[in-house]
């Protein structure tokens, strides 16, 4: 729900801002009101931008996304949700990961659209492919680094212990 809830407000404030949605996330987007009800939240009018105004992408076809002068690599991180991605900006060594890795934890995988196996594969790939100095900006909680998470995050330690590090 938190992935979608503010999009209507953002579009009201910035009517021309593009909203990018991974193709595999469209069913989650379309079922927003029902998902809120599943958690006991009453949503009378979700006020979401119509699907035909979204910019859909596929992380296997789209490798980069520009934001002003910055070029972000799109990093597929399925697990928390099927089309979950992060955005890596190599010049600043910054990774914007949403609900992928958070300080001391990872995104939940007990939702109907989550997949624990995908999450484990995403975590292993991330630990083995990213530099330890990368700063992770999660969707929840304070920033952290891959180095810190390899040392303290129980969800990453199995992969970190079997790898020399970047």
Domains of the chain: 1-56 (no CATH), 58-166 (3.60.15.10)
Q: How confident is the model at residue 159 (pLDDT cuts 50, 70, 90)?
A: confident
- Rounded to 5°, the CA angle 117-89-119 comes to 5
Q: Which residues of 126-145 are buried (b: 16+ CB within 10 A; e: fewer)?
A: bbeebebebbbebeeeeebb
Provide the pLDDT for residue 83: 93
For residue 101, is pLDDT > 70?
yes
Q: What percent of the chain has pLDDT over 90?
A: 57
For residue 165, is pLDDT > 50?
no
Beta-ladder partners of 42: none
What is the mean pLDDT of the segment spanning 51-59?
87
Q: How far apart are CA 134 and CA 109, in angstroms?
A: 24
Predicted TM-score of the model (pTM):
0.87
Query: How does pLDDT run across 112-144, given as a tens digit for each residue?
Result: 899 999 999 999 999 999 999 999 999 999 999
Provide the pLDDT for residue 33: 84
Provide the pLDDT for residue 42: 78
Q: How confident is the model at residue 95 (pLDDT cuts 50, 70, 90)?
A: very high
For residue 146, is pLDDT > 90?
yes
Provide the pLDDT for residue 162: 64
Name the strand (E) or helix (H) holding 68: none
Provide the pLDDT for residue 58: 87
Extended strands (E) in the chain: 20-22, 55-57, 64-67, 70-76, 85-89, 94-98, 101-102, 105-106, 135-138, 144-145
Mean pLDDT, the chain, whole residue set: 89
Q: How far, in whole angstroms, is CA 125 from its chain's centroid?
A: 15
Query: How does pLDDT run across 5-54, given as a tens digit for each residue?
Result: 888 888 889 988 888 899 999 998 888 888 888 888 877 666 788 888 89
Provide the pLDDT for residue 61: 75
Are the C-beta atoms of residues 144 and 103 closer than 8 Å to each other?
yes
DSSP 64: E
């Amino acid at each position: 729900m938190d992935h979608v809830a503010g999009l209507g407000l953002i579009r009201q404030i910035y009517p021309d801002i593009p909203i990018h949605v991974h193709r595999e996330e469209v069913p989650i987007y379309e079922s927003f009101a029902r998902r809120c009800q599943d958690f006991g939240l009453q949503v009378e009018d979700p006020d979401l931008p119509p699907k035909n105004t979204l910019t859909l992408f596929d992380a296997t076809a789209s490798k980069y996304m520009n934001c002003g002068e910055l070029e972000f690599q799109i990093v597929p991180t399925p697990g928390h949700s099927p089309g979950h991605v992060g955005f890596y900006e190599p010049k600043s060594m910054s990774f914007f990961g949403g609900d992928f890795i958070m300080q001391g934890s990872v995104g939940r995988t007990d939702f109907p659209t989550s997949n624990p196996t995908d999450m484990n594969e995403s975590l292993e790939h991330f630990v083995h492919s990213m530099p330890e100095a990368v700063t992770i900006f999660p969707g929840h909680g304070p920033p952290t680094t891959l180095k810190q998470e390899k040392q303290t995050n129980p969800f990453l330690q199995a992969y970190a212990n079997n790898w020399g590090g970047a």
